[in-house]
Structure 1
Amino acid sequence: MTKTTAFESFFKKAFAFHRDGNFLEAEKQYLFALKEMPSSGVAHRNLSLIKTYQTEEDEQLVTAAAQLNDDNLAPIDRYQILYAVGKALDDLADYDQAFECFKSAGLLKRHLDNYKYESDKAIFYSLAATAERELKNLKPLSLDSAIRPVFIVGMPRSGTSLVEQILSMHSEVCALGELEYANKYGFKLAIGVEPLNRKALKTFRRKYLGAVTKHSPYTQVFTDKMPLNFRYLKLLSLAFPEAIFVHVTRDPRAVCWSNFRHFFASDGMRFSSTLTDITNYYRDYGDLCKIWQGDSSINLFTLDYESLVTDHSSEVKRLLAHIGLKFESSCLTPEKSKRAINTASQAQVMKPIYTNSSRQWLNYSAHLKPYFLSL
């Protein structure tokens, strides 16, 4: 067996354990994989997400740091290892060096992505213009009592994964995770590239529901937890007048910091590599959401993350009541869920609800202050 084959075998096992929440076995397999290929950025980064570093002499951390001294290290491996080392240094309370790692990782990733914020700025402009010019003149399709979609939206890292995990514990809810279908079938409609009319709404609805049905058999109430669906709230409300939209909000400083320190593979998340891009995106997100909040035809329920984690029972009951579900005590212990989670929040939502995550940015306040003045 070649080193590459051995690495792939160990990595696949590690990823399977990781996905299922068996972090102890996942860590063992990631370490075996790194023995075979110590330069693997994705193995270092994945492992860093599920362990807490206790010492600078940690074997994996030493290996990762050594890889960064290799001028021949592939750029994609370099920035993923930088994210991993940054996470380790954060655990070890070396916040200045951790920040430098996150900053270097993001700059390199942004360069490789060839990303410019103007591309997202143009999308926000088109979304607002289409909402004002076309969407406001359309009437919603007919209600269908057989389904009740719950779209959980907000900025990434705002707490949407926790909210879906809470709802997944209810006996009448099928949690489907982050679905790409609203973006796949609705993006061109929402930005005005394709004509918007009643026929287009029906086609959008049919394609979305057809894809969801193939994805997983759903109960009457199902969730779609794609945070960036906040961009399509008016379009979705017209195509799905029976839908409920749960908008999760959080301290913007905590949101922006958490986006900055995490790696995201999705093209839609390329704004998250630098603090300048993130804060620009956050402001435009806020402006767009003000448009939706002013539209009484959208069944929009705002859920504050800080309130959810400090007054958990009351907020969960309020959420369930708005959706039209009876309270079930299982919703108060989302960490007991057995469902697989494939987001950056996996390790957090598998723990009992805790309240200190929104203050972690304070460890970096000296570095963040110039960026957060406008939030």
Structure 2
Amino acid sequence: MDAATADSVWQQTTQAIGRYDFAEANKRLTEALSRLDGSARIPFLAQQGRVLGPMGRQAEAVEAVREAVDLLETPGTEGDAATWHGLGLTLCNARREAEALPLLKRAAELAPHSGPYWKTRGETEDFLGLTDEAERSYDVAARTGNWAAHLALARLKRWTREHNHIDRLINAPVRTALHQACQGYALFKEYDDIDDRANAWRWLQKGAAAARSQPVTPNRPPWSAAAESTTTDVWIAAFPPERSAHVPAIRRSAPRRIFIIGLPRSGTTLVERILGAHSQVQALGELPTFPAAVKTCSGSQTPALIDAETIKAAAHIDPQAIADFYDREIAWRHDGSPCVTDKLPHNSDYAGLIRLAFPDAVIIHVRRAPMDALFGAYKLYFAAGWSFDQNDLAEHYRNYSHLMAHWKTCLGDGLIDISLEALIRDPDMEIRRLLDACDLPFETDCLRPHNAKGAVASASSSQVRQPINAEGIGAWRRYEKELAPLRGRLQSMGVVDSNGDTLS
């Protein structure tokens, strides 16, 4: 392929990615790669890894990255920082953090003043439990003006009055609404750490207001309670209880799937770590695979991952096709363990469809007191559009509870409820109950999930590396007065009492 043709294909691919048309981008890249040799393949392989991931084809994405790395390590070939960083990001998205880290270190070394590269390196070190290394990387990135790194550094651990970044955060240049959001959430975290609650809450309000003002993009679609309610109603209509009533819990070929679902900040990561400490369980983290399987198998061409059209289309396809897609895309991760976990909280949307696709799967629903769970989401800068306003938090909880009540009707005892509060109050009894629900023998290592190995790619990465403790129970009461609007809305819904305690 001559240079002009390669440039044309590259432009077409870039345009397709800009439209989020990953299938078209991959088609162009595959055609180009069939006509390229040697080092000329490297940028096209890197780009292919980038587009295959969102399509749920993580195994192929990793293969593309590995081929590119092999070519880069050929004598006489030298990649630039952007290429190494892109390859590392693809591996991170495929939950191969340990494999990604050397590539990300190479990128940061080649571009020592690049904030984004140091931030990605720090995030990967953070997920791998390399806290000191992550602190250094985040700090380097923050000093370049990278606000995502400022926020990540604030979240990394608990800061003190003697050791914090409050002055730097206040004085750092703020140029965009994104910067304002990161600044607000970071200062909330650090002021809260030193128990300056008045300043903490003031900055949280600034951060949330800035987050609400962010422009709508394909990666950040608009959110409304009404639209989410409509989607919930479509789920309920498309998957009535009778569809699940007579699904036999037949054993499939190994491994057995354990899906851990729940609201963000509800304790799903802790449950995953408990199960991951078991000798017969491999914890795979938060996998985007089931939603990708539904989107792909449904044939839906809408931009959103999940919407009414996709749900209606999914209701008419053979669930086995979804299972086959999922199995194929997960097989390369499997280490031979009898059971594997999938801890994507948002799989709660798909619980009924999961049962149809995997009749023998264990579906664990982790519940947390709603005031704590919702405050946990509110105080973090989530991409979720419902997490920036107290009224939106309540409306999201209404829709979530409505759908979960439907799935409970559909699945009955096939939906295993685990209370985070009960788990923390009596870990021995609740962990035994959890293991029994998964048909797993009790092992004492499960009582020490903080010792479990493996990366933790979630906002809970630091907390779950501590022994089980009650620190988060009732955490919302530190801001009880300020959270009165949320408590009042939940009380009017019959979810909590006038004291904010859970009623159901």
**TM-score, scaled to structure 1:** 0.89
Instruction: Check conservation: 2:180, 2:206, Cα contact below 8 A.
Output: no
Structure 1 segments of 4 or more deviating over 6 A?
Answer: 1-4
Partner of 1:355: 470
Q: Distance in 2 between matches of 1:13 and 1:183?
A: 27
Q: Contact 2:277 / 2:453 at 8 angstroms: preserved in 1?
A: no
Q: Counterparts of 2:363 and 2:247 in 1: how far apart (Å)? A: 18
Distance in structure 1 (CA, Å) of the matches to 2:456 and 2:273: 9
Preserved contact between residue 169 and residue 331 of structure 1 (Cα < 8 Å): yes
> Cα distance 1:305–1:210, how it changes in 2: closer, same or farther (>3 A)?
same
Within 5 Å, give how 1:294-313 maps onto structure 2. Answer: 294-296=409-411, 299-313=414-428
Q: Distance in 2 between matches of 1:65 and 1:7?
A: 19
Match of 1:202 among 320, 326, 336: 320
Report Cα offsets for 1:173-208 as digits up to 9, x if no partner: 0111111122122258685331534x5211111111
Match of 1:104 among 206, 214, 235: 206
For 2:437 and 2:470, locate their aligned partners in 1 and report how far apart those are by CA, in whole Å: 24
Contact 1:153 1:230 in 2 (8 A): yes
What is the root-mean-square deviation of aligned Cα atoms in Å? 2.5
What residue number does 1:193 align with? 312
Contact 1:162/1:349 (<8 A) preserved:
yes
Tell me if structure 2 keeps the 8 A contact 1:254–1:361.
yes
Tell me which amino acid in the other structure corresponds to 1:85. L
Shift of 1:127: 1.2
- Helix, strand or coil for the counterpart of 1:301? strand
Residues 124-160 of structure 1 deviation map (CA, whole Å, 9 limit, x = unaligned): 1211221239845885695415331111011111000
Q: Please say if 1:333 is aligned against 2:448.
A: yes
Q: Match for 1:47 among 144, 147, 153?
A: 153
Query: Is the aligned partner of 1:182 residue 2:301?
Result: no
Structure 1 residues 96 and 76, CA gap change in structure 2 (3 angstroms) = same
Cα distance between partner residues in 2 of 1:260 and 1:15: 21
Q: Contact 2:150/2:183 (CA < 8 Å) preserved in 1? A: yes
1:144 counterpart residue number = 252
The offset of 1:232, in angstroms, is 1.1
Residue of structure 2 aligned with 1:62, choices 162, 167, 176: 167
> In the aligned structure 1, how far is the partner of 2:141 from the partner of 2:372?
33
Q: Who is 2:137 aligned against?
A: 29
Distance 1:255 1:17, change over 3 A: same
The CA deviation at 1:122 is 2.3
Q: What is the distance in 2 between the residues matched to 1:112 and 1:9?
A: 23
- Shift in Å, 1:113: 4.6
Match of 1:89 among 188, 191, 206: 191
Give the Cα–Cα distance (whole angstroms) in 2 for the partners of residues 7 and 281 of structure 1.
35
Percent identity, aligned pairs only?
A: 27
Pairing of 1:210-225 with structure 2 (within 5 A): 210-225=328-343
Q: Deviations over 1:303-333 (max 9, x none)?
A: 0000101101111011101111111110000
- How far the C-alpha of 1:240 sits from its partner, in A, is 0.5
Q: Alpha-carbon deviations, 1:233-279, whole Å to 9, x = none?
A: 111101100101111001100001000001224xxx22222222111
Whole-angstrom CA distance in 2 between matches of 1:46 and 1:166: 25
Which residues of structure 1 form unaligned runs of 5+?
Answer: none
Q: Which residue of 2 aligns with 1:262?
A: 380
Structure with the greater alpha carbon radius of gyration: 2
CA contact (8 A) 1:181 1:211 kept: yes
Give the one of 281, 284, 305 matched to 2:399.
Answer: 284
The answer to whether the 8 A contact 2:159-2:193 is kept is: yes
Distance 2:413 2:333 in 1: 26
SS in 1 for 2:213: helix
In the TM superposition, residue 5 of structure 1 has moved relative to its aligned partner by 3.0
Query: Does residue 75 of the first structure (1) align with residue 182 of the second (2)?
Result: no
* 1:48 to partner: Cα distance: 0.8
| Alignment deviations for residues 90-124 of structure 1 (CA, whole Å, 9 cap, x no partner) | 11212232122222222222221543313322221
2:127 touches 2:458 (CA, 8 Å); kept in 1?
A: no
Cα deviation per residue 1:46-69 (whole Å; 9 max; x = unaligned)?
Answer: 1111232212x75622111112xx
Moved more, 179-188 or 145-154: 179-188
1:120 aligns with 2:235: no
The amino acid of 1:40's aligned partner reads N
Answer whether contact 2:323 2:357 (CA < 8 A) is retained.
yes
Instruction: Give the stretch that moved more between structures: 126-135 or 350-359.
Output: 126-135
Structure 2: tracts of 5 or more residues without a match: 1-108, 217-221, 299-305, 491-504
Partner Cα distance (1:204, 1:149) in 2: 14
SS at match of 1:5: coil
Instruction: Quote the residue 1:243 is aligned against.
Output: 361
CA distance in 2, matches of 1:320, 1:193: 35
Indicate the SS of the match to 1:246.
strand
Identify the structure with bigger relative contact order (alpha carbons < 8 Å, sequence gap 6+). Answer: 1
AA in 1 matched with 2:458: T
Compare 330-339 and 9-18 and name the one that shifted more: 9-18
CA separation in 2, counterparts of 1:44 and 1:183? Answer: 31
Find the aligned partners of 1:122 and 1:178 in 2 and give their Cα distance.
26
Counterparts of 1:101 and 1:52, CA distance in 2: 17
Number of aligned pairs? 365
Residue 11 of structure 1 deviates from its aligned partner by 3.3
Tell whether the 8 Å contact from 1:253 to 1:361 is kept in structure 2 after alignment: yes
Correspondence list, 1:1-16, <5 A: 5-8=113-116, 10-16=118-124
Matched, 1:365 2:499: no
**Structure 2: distance between partners of 1:172 and 1:9:** 37
Name the CA distance, whole Å, in 2 between partners of 1:33 and 1:332. 37
Paired with 1:291 and 1:354, the residues of 2 have a C-alpha distance of: 32
